[in-house]
Homo-oligomer: A and B are copies of this chain.
Amino acid sequence: MNRQAVSNYKQGLLETAHTLRHKIRVGEFTGSTSGFAPGLIQGNVVILPSDWAQDFLYFCQLNPVSCPLIAVSRPGEPLLPELGNDIDIRCDVPEYNVFVDGELTHTAIDIADLWNEQMVTFILGCSFSFEEALQRAGLSVRNIDLGRNVSMYETSLPTSPSTRFHGNTVVTMRPFSPADAIRAIQVTTRLPKAHGAPIHIGRPDLIGIDDLTSPHFGDSVPVGEDEIPVFWACGVTPQVAIRNARPPLCITHVPGKMLVTDRLNDELAVL
């Protein structure tokens, strides 16, 4: 591609993202963003009061595979210009989880009424970025093919605790034939800021998952007779740590309903 072609390529992606974010902002789109705006980074969202932000930043630093930071705002700043020039974190996520004292009290499609000058936004990379890379490598991503949210599970694998945040790792699961599973490991290794390589493969019992058909978050996705489940660390991991840390207020995305950015997935790639 010459320079103009690259520019046209990205311009087409950005128009898709802007259209989707507009629908999200006005409340027309409140679903899972899996498979939407392919080619662009989607992010997990955690919003905390500034006196909790430093310890959460430490938690992310300790757990970079489940919590790969791609942006942190200044306190009170709702815009995220490094991820897109019109992103307002108060209204650009399809649906929010609101935690009060660590309890999920309700969901919302807009959090302007909860915003204040102390709020700090953390955006973490998301496996949806590598789903596009898997598809470009010729692999089928079952949850996208079925139009469902990915299956997510709270495992028995502990995170490294910060002072107040602690808990087990949440994973996403995608089924593949053994040969495709090997290829999926290679492809996602290139994307450390989108959780990178899987952290587990086969044998869900070894990481505390008793029943693959009953995910703790997202939708059930069938595993074929000739397939094995492949597990990646998930940006919903902080939501478990938030339940345990009990900050007075915390706002996250609803699992699967991510912030869509203007940045290219390939910007997250090494090699």
Is A178's CB within 8 Å of the partner chain B? Answer: yes
Q: Which 6 A-B pairs have the closest CB atoms?
A: A202-B202, A185-B185, A178-B201, A178-B200, A202-B228, A182-B198
Of the candidates B178, B181, B200, B228, the one whose C-beta lies within 8 Å of that of A179 is B200
Within 8 A of B (CB), among A204-224: 206
Is A135's CB within 8 Å of the partner chain B? Answer: no
Q: Are B182 and A206 in contact (CB under 8 A)?
A: no
Interface string of A175-190 (1 = CB under 8 A from B): 0001101100110010
Is A23's CB within 8 Å of the partner chain B? Answer: no
Is A197's CB within 8 Å of the partner chain B? Answer: yes
- Copies of this chain in the oligomer: 2
Report the bound CA distance from A185 to B230 in whole Å.
14
Contacts A/B (CB < 8 Å), 13 sampled: A178-B200, A178-B203, A178-B206, A179-B199, A182-B197, A182-B198, A182-B199, A182-B201, A185-B185, A201-B202, A201-B228, A202-B228, A271-B271
A191 to B: closest C-beta gap in Å:
13
Report the bound CA distance from A197 to B185 in whole Å.
10
Q: Nearest B residue to A200 by beta-carbon distance?
A: B178
Q: Are A228 and B203 in contact (CB under 8 A)?
A: yes
Q: Nearest B residue to A207 by beta-carbon distance?
A: B178
Instruction: Please report whether the interface of chain A is mostly helix, strand, loop or mixed according to DSSP.
Output: mixed
Is A145's CB within 8 Å of the partner chain B? Answer: no
Report the bound CA distance from A197 to B179 in whole Å.
10
Kindly list chain B residues whose C-beta atoms are within 8 Å of the C-beta of A271: 271
A185 to B: closest C-beta gap in Å:
5
Q: Are A202 and B186 in contact (CB under 8 A)?
A: no
Report the bound CA distance from A206 to B179 in whole Å.
11
Q: Nearest B residue to A197 by beta-carbon distance?
A: B182
Is A226's CB within 8 Å of the partner chain B? Answer: yes
Most chain-B Cβ atoms within 10 A of its Cβ — which of A181, A226, A271?
Answer: A181
Kindly list chain B residues whose C-beta atoms are within 8 Å of the C-beta of A178: 200-203, 206
Report the bound CA distance from A226 to B156 in whole Å.
15
Query: With A182-B185, A186-B189 known to touch, is A226 a contact of B199 (CB < 8 Å)?
Result: no
Kindly list chain B residues whose C-beta atoms are within 8 Å of the C-beta of A206: 178, 226
